[in-house]
Amino acid sequence: MGTYISNVQTAVLLFPLLSALLSVPYAIYQYRSYGSISLWKTFLVFSFIFYLMCAYFMVILPLPADRSIVVPGAQHPQLVPFRFMRALESGAPLDPTSPASWIAFLRRPDIYTVYFNVLLTVPFGVYLRYLFHRRWWQALVLGFALTLFFEVSQITGLFGIYEHPYRLFDVDDLITNTLGAMLGFWASIPLCHFLPDLRDVDERSIARGAAHTSFSRRLLAFGIDMAAVAAVLWLYGIVVPAGPSAASERFAVLAGSLIATFVTFMAIPVITRGQTIGHMVLRLRVVRPDGSSARGWQYIARYGLLFWVFLLLPNWVSALFPTGGVTLHAGADEVSIGATAIETVLASVYLFWLVTIALRAVLSAFKHPFVMLNGVISNTRVMSEAQVERLRAERHAQSLEEELAQNDLGASSLEDAFDSSFDAVYSDEEDAEIDAMRADE
pLDDT digits (tens, 9 = 90+) for 266-291: 999 999 999 999 999 999 999 999 99
Q: How far apart are CA 329 and CA 307, in angstroms?
A: 29
pLDDT of residue 177: 95
So what's the pLDDT on residue 213? 92
The Cα 285–Cα 279 span in angstroms is 6
Sign of torsion, CA 102 104 110 114?
positive
Q: Please report the pLDDT score of residue 36 as a whole number.
A: 93
* CA pair distance 149, 139, nearest whole angstrom: 15
| CA–CA distance, 85 with 64 (Å, rounded to integer) | 30
Q: Is the peptide bond before 62 cis (omega within 30 degrees of 0)?
A: yes
Instruction: Assign 59 to helix, strand or coil.
Output: helix
The phi and psi torsions of 284 (rounded to 5 degrees) equal -115, 170
Helix (H) or strand (E) run with residue 383 in it: strand 381-384
What is the distance between the alpha carbons of residues 53 and 47, in angstroms, rounded to a whole number? Answer: 10
3-state SS assignment for residue 431? helix
Strand duo 284-287 + 381-384: pairing: antiparallel
Q: Please give the angle made by the CA atoms of 312, 317 and 322, to the nearest 5 degrees.
A: 150
Q: Which conformational region is residue 179 in: left (phi greater than 0), alpha (psi within -120 to 50 degrees), or beta?
A: alpha
Would you say 281 and 221 are in contact if contact means Cβ atoms under 8 Å apart? yes
Of the pLDDT bands very low, low, confident and very high (cuts 50, 70, 90), residue 359 is very high
Q: Is the pLDDT of residue 223 over 80?
A: yes
Is the model more confident about 329 or about 308?
A: 308
pLDDT at residue number 196: 92
> What's the mean pLDDT in 225-239?
92
Give dist(CA 91, CA 97) in Å, integer.
17
Of 166, 221, 381, 192, which is closest to residue 294 (Cα–Cα)?
381
Q: Would you tell me how many other CB atoms lie within 10 Å of the CB of residue 106?
A: 11
The C-alpha atoms of residue 417 and residue 406 are separated, in whole angstroms, by 13
pLDDT at residue 172 greater than cutoff 70: yes
Q: Tell me phi and psi for residue 382, to 5 degrees.
A: -100, 120
**pLDDT for position 323:** 57
Confidence class for position 65, pLDDT limits 50, 70, 90: confident
Strands 284-287 and 333-338: unpaired
> Cα(104)–Cα(121) distance, rounded to whole angstroms?
25
Per-residue pLDDT of 139-166, as tens digits, reads 999 999 999 999 999 999 999 899 999 9
> Which run of H or E residues covers position 170?
none
User: Could you say which DSSP state residue 408 is in?
Assistant: T
Report the C-alpha gap between 89 and 92 in whole angstroms. Answer: 8
Q: What is the mean pLDDT of residues 320-331?
A: 58
Find the range with the poorest average confidence among 30-39, 47-56, 325-334. Answer: 325-334
Q: What is the pLDDT of residue 315?
A: 77
| Under 8 Å between Cβ of 120 and 177 | yes
The model's confidence at residue 105, banded by pLDDT at 50, 70 and 90, is low
Q: How confident is the model at residue 250 (pLDDT cuts 50, 70, 90)?
A: confident
- In this model, does residue 40 exceed pLDDT 90? yes
SS3 235: helix
Mean pLDDT of 75-104: 73
What SS3 state is found at 381?
Answer: strand
Where residue 402 falls among pLDDT bands split at 50, 70, 90? confident
Cα separations in angstroms, 150 against 57, 121, 144, 177? 10, 11, 10, 10
| CA pair distance 129, 140, nearest whole angstrom | 11
Question: Following DSSP, what letter does each residue of 70-95 receive, concatenated?
Answer: --GGGSS-B--TTHHHHHHHHSPPP-
Q: Among residues 159, 178, 175, 176, which one has the least CA distance to residue 167?
A: 159
CA distance 129 to 185: 6
Q: Indicate the average pLDDT of the chain.
A: 84
Q: Residue 405: CB partners within 8 Å, gap ≥ 6?
A: 412
Q: Specify the higher pLDDT residue, 437 or 194.
A: 194
**pTM attached to this predicted model:** 0.81
Higher pLDDT, 173 or 84: 173
Task: Say whether pLDDT at 229 is over 60.
Answer: yes
Give residue 206's pLDDT: 92
pLDDT, average across residues 337-352? 78
